[in-house]
Amino acid sequence: MTDIHLTELERQLRYSFKNRRWLEQALVHSSYAYEFPLQGPSNERLEFFGDAVLSLFISDFLMEYYPQAGEGLLSRWRASLVNARHLAGIARSLDLGGHLRLGRGEEQQSGRRKPSVLADALEAVLAAVYLDGGFAAARGVVKLLFQASLTRLEDKASMQDFKTLLQEYAQKNLKVTPTYRVVTATGPAHARTFEVEVWLADQPWGRGQGKSKKQAAQEAARLALAVLEKD
């Protein structure tokens, strides 16, 4: 791997390594390390550490950006940001696959395009930044790479999935699962209005209206949550 390639990757990360050995190791797949053991270790240990680094900073940013969001919503958003598919997409934007050192077998199996390989490599790179530059440096790189994704969550913040929130609350605190019942459906076929009740155990906790059963159920769940949280 040439210094030119590493310099380009550093430019995209907006971070220059003081010790490039960290970055070099982050780009070594286990298949390459197995075939060329004298070249040094693979990125597996860095990937392990990077997973924790990424989870910490994403949690930090979510808490900062969305101070009103509850634990359940924050957890789902974090999961959506750190899953392999999303990480692989960010890795592709950096052309991380082109920088990897792969063994012959992995190369023949299109390893440079595998989501799992790319996701692991991205986590390893983030660990490398942390170990080379510390907390602030790693936080800056994570913010750079995930800023757009974090911002897009704003659109979802005003469209919370109240049914999921209610289910999480009910199962955790009441040990029951909500059920929904259509009470009425009025109006012409092209403009129906539905009323839906949500039941917890043997009693209703909220009744919502909407232009669809789904919308009415979401409103019922929202009202039920308001009552439960007040109680």
Other Cβ atoms less than 10 A from the Cβ of 174: the count is 13
Question: Which residues are part of a known binding site for Mg(2+)?
Answer: 47, 120, 123
Please tell me the predicted confidence (pLDDT) of residue 218. Answer: 87
What does CATH list as the number for 3-157? Answer: 1.10.1520.10
Contact 209, 185 (CB under 8 A): no
Report the C-alpha gap between 195 and 60 in whole angstroms: 40
154 is an active site residue: no
Report the C-alpha gap between 143 and 123 in whole angstroms: 14
C-alpha angle with apex 31: 36 to 6, nearest 5 degrees? Answer: 75
**pLDDT for residue 1 is more than 80:** no
Would you kindly state where each structural domain of the chain is located, as residue ranges?
3-157, 162-230
Q: Which residues contact 109 (CB under 8 A, 6 or more apart)?
A: none
Please tell me the predicted confidence (pLDDT) of residue 164. Answer: 87
Kindly list the distances between the CA atom of residue 148 and the CA atoms of 45, 78, 81, 193, 207, in Å, as whole numbers in the listed order. 28, 14, 11, 37, 37
Question: Which residues are part of a known binding site?
Answer: 47, 120, 123
Asked if the 162-230 domain carries CATH number 3.30.160.20, the reply is yes
**pLDDT for residue 156 is more than 60:** no
pLDDT, tens only, 99-153: 999 999 888 888 899 999 999 999 999 999 999 999 999 999 999 999 999 988 8
Determine which of 69-78, 174-183, 214-223 has the lowest per-residue pLDDT on average. Answer: 69-78
Report the C-alpha gap between 183 and 164 in whole angstroms: 21
Determine which of 7-21, 154-168, 175-189 has the lowest per-residue pLDDT on average. Answer: 154-168
> Comparing 155 with 66, which gets the higher pLDDT?
66
Annotated catalytic residue within 24, 123, 132, 195: 123
Please tell me the predicted confidence (pLDDT) of residue 221. Answer: 92
pLDDT, tens only, 51-108: 999 999 999 999 998 877 777 778 888 988 999 999 999 999 999 999 999 999 888 8
Annotated catalytic residue within 51, 106, 195, 197: 51
132 is an active site residue: no
Q: What percent of the chain is modeled with pLDDT above 90?
A: 65
